[in-house]
A and B are shown apart, each in its own frame.
Chain A
Amino acid sequence: MSKIGVFICHCGENISATVDCERVAAEAGKMDGVEFATDYKYMCSDPGQTLIKNAIKEKGLTGVVVGACSPRMHEPTFRKACAEAGLNPYLCEMSNLREHCSWVHEKNEQTTEKAIDLVKMLVEKVKKNKPLNAIKVPITKKALVIGGGIAGIQAALDIANAGQQVIMVEKEPSIGGHMSQLSETFPTLDCSQCILTPRMVEVAQHPNITLYTYAELEHLDGFIGNFKATIRLKAKSVDYKLCTGCGACTTKCPNKKIPSEFNEGLGMRTAIYTPFPQAVPNKPVIDRANCTYYQKGKCKVCEKVCPTGAIQYDLPDQFITEDIGAVVIATGFNVLKTDFFPEYGYGKYADVLTGLQFERLASASGPTLGEIRRPSDGKVPKKIVFIACSGSRDPAKGIPYCSKICCMYTAKHAMLYQHKVHDGESYVFYMDIRAGGKNYEEFVRRAIEDDGVNYIRGRVARIYEKDGKYIVKGADTLLGSKPVEIEADMVVLATAGVSNPGAEELAQKMHVSYDAYKFFAEAHPKLKPVETNTAGIFLCGACQAPKDIPETVGMASGAAAKVIGLFSNNELTREPLIAVVNRSAPPVFSTCVGCFMCQTACPYNAIEREEIKGRDGSVIKTVAKVNPGLCQGCGTCVAFCRSKAIDIQGFSNEQMFAEVMALMNE
């Protein structure tokens, strides 16, 4: 016989203003199986919880229903209180009288009636609740960091410095990411590589970090604390154990006309290459798609010049499997290319560049060694136009969001240009200047006031070429949309930050959600910014949304702190609200008929096959079995099951039918 306790909270006046709480408690007291019912002003307060605890002890309650706020708010509070009073926490349920009743209805008879019904529904459910125990799973204390940009580097170093093992996977031949391409960084104008490269070296030399470059995540299985990652090590065609990084191969490679990815196509590289001089690891890979040997079957110059015999043409892709406990996604972002913009020449004008290309021009390690020169003819541009919000904040282009970093880097670009070309004129077309951040606004003011950059508020409608100049036609909206026409030598588009091309595929591999723009989605926009919806997978940096370096580094350290926190325990406690397949005595064993519809339904591959064997070892029956580590408790399998053999604890068929029947019968 059930002895249910019902506790109705007034929530100050939040509930009692529209619901007659005394009446709800009185009606609840009359319900079948209810032993004790009362109301109190603040049930979640200390005296309120004591009230519940005392009632459990004194009345010997077998179940508790708290009619208060949303269970999403206080279910853990009341379950904890029940556990402290010796009642299994999963025998406590909450009836949502605040968000779903008092706050959304007027004060009248129906509202109180509805509250009574809601309580009754949960009373009937809790009668069917079964005591459950939290599941404990072991944790593998090794983290996988995907992406070797500044976000990944920071996260990996923080985790490694806390004494935990880290595996870093980077798809390019070198770590460093976009930050290694930058010339100077705002708002201090310190050299990007000067602050980044020591970190890159630290990653390579750290005893707790295993670095896999030219590698990608192939597959991820498992669950928090117990992932299994398969990593594809793309064939480098160079044996890194033998290679000393002398560079003989890269200087002698005859195929020298391949646009360099690192220089955003403004410089050339060879087929066997290290992306940039400070690369980590500073050893080359062969780009097979552009290598003469792979394409035409002969050449092998690199093999001839290599003093250590490190070139191995027939090395295949390798796959390694690692047990890991947590994943940090730090795959970064990309920028739109100029060919995205028909109005700015579809990428056919050589001197219309993206911001990232301008970074390479301005960088001392870039193709022009830091001199601003036109890619078309090598001349120093005397008049340069920067166009902010190229693509960003433009719903017509499918990018309604603000790319956040462009205002700042455009100011920086204009400033760098003025510093390098003293007689040059620079113009910035902008929509708004968004310079939120420490010393950011001052930086933009410096560009305008000290360096004389001309800021024009307005959009550029079109760019076209005329006599070797680029005619930039726009409007100055601060002068009543007066048309502006500038004959520029070079145009730099602050193109929108977009997600990486492979982001969607990676997200699907890891069961992580992503937004409409294929940026990875955080678990909560405010309170869980570095978590994903999949437990044990964290994210940081611009793979979540465009962001600047300080924010990325902060987020990376945040993700690292979450991983370190997870690894501080030897076991993990999980909610037992998972699916189970019923088992019974022979000769039935289970009502499962072995159709395995549940297996097709399960998004987590949590359903396994279990063979029930007789004493002689022969298989009597094959039934489904739920892996409690993998099951997340969605219950999709339950609705699929034809024989109702699989059920989900906490939301069982019995409980749900009881709720529905309670709600309707009066």
Chain B
Amino acid sequence: MGRLGGALMSEFEPKIVAFVCNWCTYAGADLTGTSRIKYASNVKIVRFPCTGRIDFMLLLKAFAEGADGIIVSGCHPNDCHYTSGNFHARRRWVIFRGLLNFMGIDVNRIQFSWVSAAEGAKWADVVNGTVTTIRELGPYTEYRKAADYLVQQDKSIIDGQEALIKSVSSL
């Protein structure tokens, strides 16, 4: 599978997804661009209306699909465009982090930060910092292996369910 291909290269190029809010960090990343500040190209940004929107299932999905690291970033506390979305995100992160840790998932692979629309340089720092951290941690194969195993286990169950649904809908 191509997913693990990066691990074989001499310098490991991690794949990092950034989940950012539209109003602060996305705009901050725009400012990084307008200011022509260079940063590592490993990070790809997914735009959300608010960090409060970010479902942690998406983070797990990203890991399962091959991400080596994840950045979640939004407005600074009290600056949320929607007044409190980032507080919800922060609370969720605190709880989720504990849960991940308990499950044996490496929380160091998730970088949670605040980057405002005015902090173009900070965004570049966050990206570069995360790339360095993840490069040291290496490719995140453990999660993928576990995910693939679970998928195989689930497949038989899902197939069974689909057969059931088909038989029900044909009634």
Contacts and interface: CB of A to CB of B under 8 A. Distances in A.
B112 interface: no
Contacts of B81: 533, 634
A153 interface: no
Contacts of A659: 46
B97 interface: no
Interface in B20-66: 22, 26-27, 29-34, 36-39, 41, 44-50, 52-56, 58, 61-62, 65-66
B15 interface: yes
B124 interface: yes
A111 B41 contact: yes
A666 B3 CA distance: 7
Given A72-B30, A664-B17, A653 B44 contact: no
B113 to A, nearest CB: 17
A110 B41 contact: yes
A99 B34 contact: yes
A533 B48 CA distance: 18
A480 to B, nearest CB: 38
Interface in A596-634: 601, 603-604, 632-634
A402 B34 CA distance: 29
A589 interface: no
Contact of A634 (B50, B58, B61, B62): B50
Contacts of A110: 13, 41
B62 A636 contact: no
B85 interface: yes
Interface stretch (A1-9, A100-108, A285-293): A100-108
By secondary structure, the B interface counts as mixed
A577 interface: yes
B48 A651 contact: yes
Task: Identify which of B17, B44, B61, B88 gathers the most chain A CB atoms within 10 Å of its CB.
Answer: B44
Interface stretch (A58-66, A114-122, A234-242, A337-345): A114-122
B36 A660 contact: no
Given A635-B53, A660-B46, A660-B65, A104 B32 contact: yes
B149 interface: no
Interface in A322-339: none
Interface of A: 70-73, 96, 98-101, 103-106, 110-111, 113-114, 117-118, 121, 511, 513, 533, 577, 601, 603-604, 632-636, 638-640, 648, 650-651, 653, 656-657, 659-661, 663-666
Interface of B: 2-3, 13, 15, 17, 22, 26-27, 29-34, 36-39, 41, 44-50, 52-56, 58, 61-62, 65-67, 78-79, 81-85, 88-89, 92, 124
Closest 6 CB pairs of A and B: A99-B33, A635-B53, A636-B52, A664-B65, A634-B82, A103-B33
